[in-house]
Amino acid sequence: MTLPQGGVAGEQSDARIQSNNTASSEREYEATLTADGTQIASESVTVTPEESTTLALTHTFEETGEHTISVGNRTRTES
């Protein structure tokens, strides 16, 4: 997973999440991107057996400054 760097007003931030399915059946995965404790984007995907996919979540910050960005149990605070 790659989390966006910081938050600059008017610039798009992208988080990329790779989902791997090592099971023998399809699995659904949902990724939720939060900034400063507020959900800002989410996406669901079904991954076929023994395959992987990459989800891309994007957000454009309205204010420049320090933001805490999370997806699942991964968090980054940037300014």
Please state the domain extents for the chain: 12-71
| Distance from C-alpha of 3 to C-alpha of 46, rounded to nearest angstrom | 22
| Token pair in block for residue 47 | 């991954």
Question: Per-residue pLDDT tens for 19-39?
Answer: 899 999 999 989 998 988 999
pLDDT category at 3 given cuts 50, 70, 90 is low
Bridge partners, 47 (sequence order): 27
| Token pair in block for residue 29 | 């995965």
Q: What is the mean pLDDT of the chain?
A: 84
DSSP-assigned letter for residue 39: E
